[in-house]
Chain A
Amino acid sequence: MMPVIVILLNTIFFLFINFLRFRYTHHINKSIFVISGTLFSVVNAAVIGFEHAVWLGLIVLFVLAASYKWIGSFSGALILIAIYNMVELYPNDLLFITSGYLLFSFSTAGIFHYFNLQNYRLNRWQNFFYKQSKNLHVLREVSLALQSTLKLDKLMHIFLTAVTAGYGLGFNRAFIFIQSDESSNSFSGRLAIGPLSVEEGHVIWENVVSQKLTLRDFIKLQREAEMNDHELNQMIRSYQIHINETHQLFHFVLTEKEPIIVEDNVLDSDDLLQSIKDRFSMKQFAIIPLLTRGKVIGLMMIDNIVDQKPIEYEDLDNIMPLATQGAMAIENAMLYEKTESMAIEDALTKLKNKRFLDRMFPHLQESAESNKTDLTALVMDIDHFKVFNDTHGHLLGNEVLIQMGQILSDAVNDEDIVCRFGGEEFVILLPKAGIDKGVQVAEKIRETIRSYSFKGMEAQPFGRITASIGVASYPETTTKCEQLIHLADEAVYEAKNLGRDRTVCFYEKKSEVCR
């Protein structure tokens, strides 16, 4: 009865140890498996007699082959044979047992080796496939999203989102610098996505994950992203990079048009690199050129501030197609913005033009009417400007118009609109301002013009350049909001008729001189 109990206890002990071995690291786990398997065989051999050690030894060889493959299996076989030889267990059959053990070791270790190799290959293929699949997925989503807009800020947000979101390429932070108009070696910070510190990174990431946001959600959440990274964006927008030959790595990126990885410990002597590292708490980071038609239009920097995952060259290979696609979209958007701005801007005074006014006025009118708010229009005409042009020529006349533009821009707030209506006529729209404010602004402008020292003004009547201004305000002086500019223009005529150099307000019931 006793041997049966020992065999059962031995079996239970072996299974129990096998349960516990998963508590430990892989190496300890393997050692425990080998030791427990050997102990199991030894105890069983002790119970049924060591003459059975020959086949119980196969269990030891099996666990050794499973744990340590060829080395484990063959060294186990040799040790067992040495033991048998020492204790003279099988003196007559030792050669036969040796051959058997070696053959068994070869077969079992071979089988395990084969499975391991297959697993390794499968794993490698899987990793490769997953990466490719993800890159393709990101490229697809981003291509779709990039073509949805021509707004530069939105495009850059989409692009950086694709680089930083886990659903995208998953870098912790990314910064975009765009080449300045003045110099091809100067770059201004435009947009960044990412945290300022590891701790902030963890908080943001937990929020993102708890809200279950996807790449498309990030793309749509531009405003929220800017709020999250407000401080970083403030820093980046005030940051400029000027690259010269002494900045070797940046210079390499510009000239060779190749991305590079900047290691944490390199080139502390490079003041530009050091400044970037200090400013944004960067360790290892990558610089990627934004290339379009062979030209560098900007630079992107990426780093992994939160998880400190090293950036590898394979990552750069993956990011380049996306960077090029982003660069093309950014260049298109910049060109579009430039064209759009040219279309609504007066080339001489740099004020907005009539086209802009025609486009903008209906919005302001609708807003004033639906929100029941004030809207005041000022129309200004330079007095005797034809005389000035005839006397001094159009070149000097243009100079006066440019200075007028500056005077008008300085006289109004940011939300007010100043346009050159045509010739020497200007229109100013003051949203949410009543007639009193309108007259106040008009008088300020008139007084400034009157006292301004224009070149050639001596030849003008009364020896100075003056302006007549008409003011109309909705709903105070007229209920016809749609005719506001026209009515202010009528008031200008009234001002002209009354002797020029004055401000006249239009009142629906009757025209009335304000000043």
Chain B
Amino acid sequence: MLILVILSSFLTLTSVVLFSRSFFQFLIKRRSEKKFTKLHTMINDVHFSFEELTYFVSLPNRNPDIFNAKINHFHAKPVFRSFIFPVHEGLMITVNESDQVLNIAFMDWKHFRIPLLERWRHEQKINEKEYEEMRSYVLMHKRTRKAFIEEAYRQIRRDDRILIVDEPIEGV
């Protein structure tokens, strides 16, 4: 019996540490999806802004490891702080190239802006906690992660001549 209690205590505490983030994500997903459905909106209809994406590399970037990396080598992973009381910090975009992982950009959750949610909050359709959870949900969503990867990929390969000359440039 004692062994069972020791074992259960150990496993329980380990589960708390290991699975809190998954619990947290699952609950946010469930609650946010419910709220979006209630407000007759699909996640695909939610537009968000890339404007606060912070890059760790200069743009455009001609470093061959980054510039030549294929888009499927780019990854976007949610970043959390704390295991027991997880806090969603943002989305990290990395590229796996030449056996090394390079940090490309980070979208801080605090600065992730979704106009629709801000309008709903202003219209009091959602409260502050729901607003935060829904922002987290959108930022963690697969579609958002893909969109951020595409944005980072596009920015790395962008043509800055558009800023230098005052006339339209072919193909830009």
Contacts and interface: CB of A to CB of B under 8 A. Distances in A.
A119 B82 contact: yes
Interface in A359-388: none
B113 A8 contact: no
Interface string A190-234: 000000001000100110111010111001100000000000000
Interface in A48-83: 48, 52, 56, 59, 62, 66-67
Contacts of A206: 47, 115-116, 119
Interface stretch (B51-59, B61-69, B70-78, B93-101): B51-59
B164 A209 contact: no
B36 interface: no
B106 to A, nearest CB: 8
Nearest to A212: B50
Contact of B13 (A20, A59, A134): A59
Contacts of B59: 137
B130 to A, nearest CB: 11
A141 B163 contact: yes
Contact of A22 (B5, B27, B55, B82): B27
B27 A23 contact: yes
A220 B84 CA distance: 48
Given A22-B23, A130-B108, A209-B115, A166 B52 contact: yes
Contacts of B12: 11, 14-15, 40
Interface residues of A, number: 64
B4 interface: yes
B8 A8 contact: yes
Contacts of B115: 202, 205-206, 209
Interface residues of B, number: 50
Contact of A148 (B48, B113, B166): B166
A98 B169 CA distance: 77
B164 A144 contact: yes
Contacts of A171: none
Contacts of A48: 1-2, 5
A18 B12 CA distance: 10
B11 interface: yes
A344 interface: no
A459 interface: no
Contact of A134 (B1, B49, B52, B162): B52
A320 interface: no
Nearest to A217: B162
Interface string A160-171: 000001110010
A130 B5 contact: no
Contacts of B16: 15, 18
30 contacts: A4-B4, A7-B1, A11-B11, A15-B16, A20-B27, A22-B20, A22-B23, A22-B27, A48-B1, A48-B2, A119-B82, A133-B55, A134-B52, A134-B54, A137-B55, A148-B163, A148-B164, A151-B166, A166-B113, A170-B52, A202-B115, A202-B118, A202-B122, A205-B115, A205-B118, A209-B47, A209-B49, A210-B47, A216-B163, A220-B162
Given A18-B23, A22-B20, A40-B9, 8 more contacts: A4-B4, A7-B4, A11-B12, A134-B52, A137-B55, A148-B165, A209-B47, A216-B158
